[in-house]
């Protein structure tokens, strides 16, 4: 990756963020005098797809997004958001701290991200929002690991947010995501870990060839009234783990087999939290 190419992509990202800020101002101006525009999810899908194109992400899709499901996936990087968001009208759950991130938090709030509030207990509010999303032909995505992983493991899924599926009766669609380098090996530059800042992580990505992304949209799993949250969580995790193991030469770590260190959360849910504030 040449310096000129990296600089050009960086400038393109800045311009793209500028377009997002302009759109956000427009949306907020409209909602002051009228209802939230129904075209916002379509615009966000375009915005995510454009960001993936600027970053030159080579995304291969296996399967398809099924309507009327709660999407559940493993979490490697903030890149998971645009990769998934580019392929459907999807809203995301994020920890409440993300709302305070400069520019990004404000844009996420305007886009309709739901923020998890630590210690709150408003699962019924979140379930109602999920039902509303599905009735409008949209869907919702959660990352139940509660943090990002190194891409070589699938951490334990915290079961609290699976109460959403129990409350609403919607099926769960697991999504397995994998990042590879040009040589086909696991791309170790993509995971967003530890105390690294979003800017530092982005600059590292821009200095290297773009990763290849494999997105596996697995068959939906029906939810029955007798299902427990922990059962649903483990069933979804096992499906994702099995797919990643089938698609990789590297060993995919199961925390049930070995000790896997916890990592600092990125754009993710918090394991202690099941409350929500509605950003729309």
Nearest-angstrom CA–CA distance, 176 and 215: 6
Domain span at 116: 3-278
Other Cβ atoms within 10 Å of 165 Cβ, number: 25
Look at phi and psi of residue 66 and say left if phi exceeds 0, alpha if psi is from -120 to 50, else beta. beta
Nearest-angstrom CA–CA distance, 146 and 156: 9
24 close to 44: Cβ distance less than 8 angstroms: no
What are 199-219's pLDDT values in tens digits?
899 999 998 888 999 999 999
| Spans of the chain below 50 pLDDT | 258-280
20 close to 107: Cβ distance less than 8 angstroms: yes
Query: What total of structural domains would you count in the chain?
Result: 1
pLDDT at 137: 76
Which value, to the nearest 10 degrees, does the dihedral of the CA atoms of residues 163, 112, 8, 187 take?
Answer: 0
What are 11-43's pLDDT values in tens digits?
999 999 999 899 999 988 998 898 888 888 899
95 close to 276: Cβ distance less than 8 angstroms: no
pLDDT at 118: 60
pLDDT at 263: 37
CATH of the domain at 202: 3.40.1130
pLDDT at 84: 94
If you search the block for the tokens 């009766």, which residue do you land on?
Answer: 169
What are 73-86's pLDDT values in tens digits?
999 999 999 999 99
Burial of 163 (0-12, 13-18, 19+ CB in 10 A): middle
């Amino acid at each position: 990756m040449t310096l000129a190419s990296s600089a050009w992509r960086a400038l393109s990202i800045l311009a793209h963020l500028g377009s997002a800020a302009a759109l956000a101002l427009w949306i907020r101006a409209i909602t002051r005098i009228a209802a939230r525009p129904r075209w916002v999810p379509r615009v966000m899908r375009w915005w995510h797809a454009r960001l993936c194109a600027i970053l030159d992400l080579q995304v291969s899709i296996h399967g398809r997004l099924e309507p009327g499901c709660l999407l559940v996936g493993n979490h490697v990087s903030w890149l998971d958001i645009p990769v998934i968001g580019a392929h459907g009208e999807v809203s995301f759950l994020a920890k409440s701290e993300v709302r305070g991130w400069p520019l990004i938090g404000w844009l996420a709030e305007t886009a309709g991200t739901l923020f998890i509030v630590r210690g709150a207990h408003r699962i019924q509010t979140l379930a109602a929002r999920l039902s509303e999303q599905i009735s409008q032909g949209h869907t919702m995505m959660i990352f139940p690991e509660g943090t990002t992983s190194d891409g070589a493991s699938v951490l334990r899924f915290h079961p609290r947010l699976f109460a959403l599926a129990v409350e609403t009766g919607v099926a769960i669609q697991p999504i397995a995501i994998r990042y590879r380098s040009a040589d086909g090996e696991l791309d170790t530059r993509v995971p967003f870990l530890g105390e690294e800042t979003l800017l530092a992580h982005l600059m590292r990505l821009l200095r290297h060839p773009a990763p290849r992304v494999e997105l596996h949209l697995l068959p939906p799993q029906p939810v029955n009234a007798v299902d427990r949250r922990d059962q649903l969580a483990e069933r979804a995790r096992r499906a994702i783990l099995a797919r990643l193991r089938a698609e990789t030469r590297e060993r995919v770590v199961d925390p049930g087999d070995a000790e896997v260190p916890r990592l600092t959360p990125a754009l993710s849910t918090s394991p202690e939290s099941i409350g929500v504030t509605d950003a729309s």
